[in-house]
Amino acid sequence: MNYADFKALYVLSCLALALIILSPTLAMVIQLPGGERFSELWILGSGGMAENYPFNIVQGQVYNFFLGVRNHMDNLTYYVVYVKLRNQTEPLPDALSGTSSSLEPIFEYRTFLEDGGVWEKKIHFSFDAVSFDGNFCRVSGLTIDGHTLNVEKLAVWDVENKGFYMQLFFELWIYDRAFSGFQYHSRFVGFWINMTMPI
């Protein structure tokens, strides 16, 4: 080995040793690309499983289900879940364009979650002002977790499925620092309910 080869080997060894010694500091400064960033949104039935969702609804009776969010965004994230109620003809969010439903929220839940953090809540709800007139069902009042809300929704009798159907659904929004506000996070879940006449 000649002197030039020895010198190159010495310089490379010193550089490798310096990188090893400085690696903890470099790890704090250099952000390597992480995995996919996403959030989870779910609803579970009254038993905490993906079954037994409220369906045949009677005025004044209290029903429950679980609503949950999990953060996989690699940082502390501020979420809002908007609660919306629709009849068969009103719009859901558009999965292709990633836009939210144009319906106004009737209620909301807010939470901060660290990366990997989970928020899950048992939701209680009841319909308080339901009236029937021929082929129409009007829902005027909904109570969610003790908050009475004015909803004013009209459902038309579904001849094929024999019921007055509405859908309770939930949109996930996330706080965007650059936008200085909440933006729809392309996640929504919901379940259908059938408003039944008292016997």
Regarding whether 70 and 11 lie in a shared domain, the answer is no
Q: CA-CA distances (angstroms) from residue 162 to 11, 39, 60? A: 82, 37, 22
Regarding whether 53 and 14 lie in a shared domain, the answer is no
Regarding whether 106 and 69 lie in a shared domain, the answer is yes
Regarding whether 105 and 28 lie in a shared domain, the answer is no
Residues in the chain where the model's pLDDT stays below 70:
1, 6, 8-9, 11-12, 14-19, 22-34, 198-199
Handedness of CA 140, 100, 181, 70 (dihedral sign): positive
pLDDT value at residue 102: 97
The domain of 10 spans 1-32
Q: What is the CATH number of the domain that holds 115?
A: 2.60.40.10
Regarding whether 106 and 23 lie in a shared domain, the answer is no
Rounded CA separation 18/49 (Å): 53
pLDDT value at residue 28: 54
Regarding whether 117 and 49 lie in a shared domain, the answer is yes
Predicted model pTM: 0.81
Regarding whether 75 and 164 lie in a shared domain, the answer is yes
Pairing assessment for the beta strands 56-57 and 38-44 based on DSSP bridges: unpaired
pLDDT value at residue 17: 64
Regarding whether 86 and 142 lie in a shared domain, the answer is yes
pLDDT value at residue 66: 98
Domain count, the chain: 2
pLDDT value at residue 197: 72
CA-wise closest residue to 59 among 163, 118, 131, 113: 131
